[in-house]
Every structure is written in structure tokens, then in C-alpha cells.
Structure 1
């Protein structure tokens, strides 16, 4: 069984989840614009590097505050 973490969920079409599959982290990014994207990382450091470069505060409804919450949620996995 894999551990699944919901990082954020705005609605059924905009969410980010992480599944911990042994040493692999599978990030599923679902958006109403792009559909579902799946990213696989072999370490938390690799995942955090991707997240810090991938997300922009302007893409979040609550801006910088929500970006910080999202990155904190990812760090806690």
C-alpha cells in the first residue's frame, strides 16, 4: 500500500498529490488547464528542487501565502 498525501486541493480539477512508493515519490499535478501531469522523483531533495522552480505565487488563489503552505506541505512528506 502506498501513502498518499494531498498537498493542496482547490476543487476536483485543481490539486496536487504525492504518493510515497518505497523510495520513489510520485507527484500528480491535476489542473483544469493542463489535465494530469505525473512526475517521479528519487529523493525529497529532487522533488523540492522541482517544486521551488516549478510553482509561482501568481498561479495560486492566495498568492505567496499559499505557495509557502504548498512548499511546507511538500517538505513535511
Structure 2
């Protein structure tokens, strides 16, 4: 499931693999970073910490759309 995509080098994808959720962040600056979660609450905790208004470089609407997409996983 695609959570966010700015271009072909900046995106976040999530996929459910059995009991695990794997989130992949792909960035033109940092490459690919993978996070594995064993529960949805754990993933949502990470997402809310990762996408705080202070740390997110984008509009508030984009940030809320990303968090809403995480809730749909």
C-alpha cells in the first residue's frame, strides 16, 4: 500500500506480511530504510512520532493525509 509519494525517489510504502507490517521509506537523500512492526498500534506510534508538525517538511494537509493512510493499513 502506498502511503506517500512525492516522486520516484521519495515515497513511503507499507505492506502486511502475515502478522508483521513492513514500512519502507525511500528517500533521495538517505536511500531505503525499512521498519518492521508486529502490531498496528506500534506502527501508528512510530508514524505519529515520525510525522510530527515540527519534523515534517510539507503542508499540514499532507501530514494529515499520510497519517490517515497509515490508519488504513
TM-score for the superposition, normalised by structure 2: 0.91
Cα distance in 1 between the residues matched to 2:18 and 2:11 = 22
1:59 to 57, 60, 68: 57
Alpha-carbon RMSD across the aligned residues, in angstroms, is: 1.0
CA distance in 1, matches of 2:39, 2:52: 22
Partner residue in 2 for 1:13: 9
Which residue in 2 is equivalent to 1:38? 34
Query: CA offset at residue 33 of structure 1?
Result: 1.2
Cα distance, 1:56 vs structure 2: 3.6
Count of equivalent residues: 71
What is the distance in 2 between the residues matched to 1:23 and 1:76? 16
TM-score by length of 1: 0.86
- Unaligned stretches of 5+ residues in structure 2: none
CA distance in 1, matches of 2:18, 2:49: 25
